[in-house]
Structure 1
Amino acid sequence: MPNDIARLALITGANQGVGLRVAEELVSHGTTVLLGARDLARGQAAAARIGSGAIPIRIDLTDEGSIAAAAARIRQDYGRLDLLVNNAAIAQAARGDRTPDGSRDRNLASRASISEMRAVWNTNVFGTLAVYQAMLPLLRESEDARIVNVTSGLGSLTDNADHAYPYRSYYGPVYPASKAALNAITLAMMIELEGTPVKVNLVSPAFTATNLNGYAGAESVEDGSREVVRVALLGPDGPSGTFTRWEDQPIPW
């Protein structure tokens, strides 16, 4: 496989929702995108929809073997990675109402299922960190490397501590706290990579209507993905260490 492509990105959870939209946009800007999907068949279907420049790759954030295999394939085929978009996430493990209103009461701290919390955190927190650890050596081979972690404004501890915050009642230990933890490990990445060529940014795509929330979001996938795309396309002179929503609005930690 060629090593002369202009820019190579890996997006996890790229077969639907925000991940798919970001993949479409990056391909349209000349980036070769590896579409990460737990189910390779779904990744293949998404890649076929996008066309040239989109390549499916199996990666399951709960399966360290699949993460290692993906990293090995990227090294063998390309020798580097220029952009990592950690997008894959789940809101709940059990079947049922995925909307914020439908899941709020059962996800209160006094009622939340510990097993479900473990399952959600295993993907959103530990899985994301595992991907980072596996892909960092490949990112270090790039002359212009960037990591974009896709989070949620629901994970802002500062906002949730404010009684005036309109989504404060949705904060609980399953999904929102998993995003707070993701923010925390992203900060650890930022600190580790300070002074290196690898840049790290944290982005909230807003309350986007996707399968994650039972399509209850107020923003379209197109609108909700804009900030992820903007930050992913920042050049070598672009900032690192930011936490933003559209358009370049800082979010408090």
Structure 2
Amino acid sequence: MKTALVTGANKSIGFEVARQLAHKGIYVYLGSRDVQNGIDAVNKLLEDGINNVEVIQLDITDDESVKNARAKIGEKTERLDILINNAGVFGGYPQGALEITIDQFKATYDANVYGVIRVTQVFIDLLRNSPEPRIVNVSSSQGSITLHSDPSYKYYDYKAAAYLSSKAAMNMYTVVLAYDLKGTAFKINSVCPGFTKTDFNGHRGTGTVEDAGKRIVKYALIDKDGPTGKFFSEENNPETGEIAW
């Protein structure tokens, strides 16, 4: 049975990704900063007849928490097939270039950039043991510098200095990571789930968590001929999905 770790999996898109992966017969570790929230999420899945899931305490901004999660999962399996770096933050308001504080930048980057790096580096040994390792970094088309410099982009006027730049930085990490692992079985991509109605945006989104989950799971399950080191947003490019960095 394949195994997957989804960070920030106790609610919203992360929870839906975990649910969809589990439905496909994959054993899923639900990473949750708050253990009780994770337990509640697992119980919801159990009520739906999904039992190939369990909670793992995981705060992506805490080195010891990430290392402890790696140790616990390592006690249960010798390999990890899928890593979904989903957990992240928006960074609060205001986020205008002249109003935002350095502390806001630090907190946003700690989760959206350093958190992805922490988890990836700590779990890379388990991923290397998989014959088909997959990493999906959950991004946003808002992190596309190309789109956000184009006045015709539909979200052009929605600027947020810390959040947008953190996703752009995470995207570059995706590019470098894919390059460093070129020639291996790894497939590593940044995927935008779309403007999804969740707590993250005060439920102002237009898409469903089900559709968002499908977009992420698609790239978690690509075959050996699938893409790597790419940026996908089916909301912005329904034909091929790929968008400019």
Normalised by the length of structure 1, the TM-score is 0.90
- In the other structure, the counterpart of 1:10 is 5
> Aligned partner of 2:19: which letter?
E
1:235 deviates by: 2.7
Aligned pair partner of 2:28 in 33, 43, 46: 33
Find the aligned partners of 1:180 and 1:195 in 2 and give their Cα distance: 25
Q: Secondary structure in 2 aligned to 1:9? A: strand
1:154 and 2:142 matched = yes
Task: Choose 28-37 or 239-248, whichever is displaced more.
Answer: 239-248
Contact 2:192 2:232 in 1 (8 A): yes
Find the aligned partners of 2:224 and 2:183 in 1 and give their Cα distance: 13
Contact 1:60 1:67 in 2 (8 A): yes
Structure 1 residue ranges without an equivalent (≥5): 1-5, 95-102
- In the other structure, the counterpart of 2:242 is 250
Find the aligned partners of 1:197 and 1:229 in 2 and give their Cα distance: 18
1:23 deviates by: 0.6
Find the aligned partners of 1:191 and 1:236 in 2 and give their Cα distance: 16
- In the other structure, the counterpart of 2:83 is 84
Superposed counterparts of 1:65-144, under 5 Å = 65-92=64-91, 103=93, 106-144=94-132
Find the aligned partners of 1:224 and 1:202 in 2 and give their Cα distance: 13
Q: RMSD of aligned C-alpha atoms?
A: 1.2
Normalised by the length of structure 2, the TM-score is 0.93
1:151 deviates by: 0.3
Find the aligned partners of 1:205 and 1:107 in 2 and give their Cα distance: 22
> Aligned partner of 1:47: which letter?
V
Contact 1:171 1:177 in 2 (8 A): no
Aligned pair partner of 1:225 in 210, 213, 216: 213
* CA distances 1:29-52 after superposition (whole Å, capped 9, x unpaired): 000000000001111111111120
The alignment of Structure 1 onto Structure 2 pairs a total of residues equal to 237
* CA distances 1:9-58 after superposition (whole Å, capped 9, x unpaired): 00000000110001110100000000000001111111111120111001
Contact 1:9 1:32 in 2 (8 A): yes
> Aligned partner of 1:50: which letter?
L
- In the other structure, the counterpart of 1:192 is 180
Superposed counterparts of 1:38-77, under 5 Å = 38-51=33-46, 52-77=51-76
Find the aligned partners of 1:235 and 1:33 in 2 and give their Cα distance: 19
Find the aligned partners of 1:221 and 1:140 in 2 and give their Cα distance: 30
* CA distances 1:180-235 after superposition (whole Å, capped 9, x unpaired): 11111111111111111121011000001111111111111112222101111223
- In the other structure, the counterpart of 1:99 is none
> Aligned partner of 1:188: which letter?
V
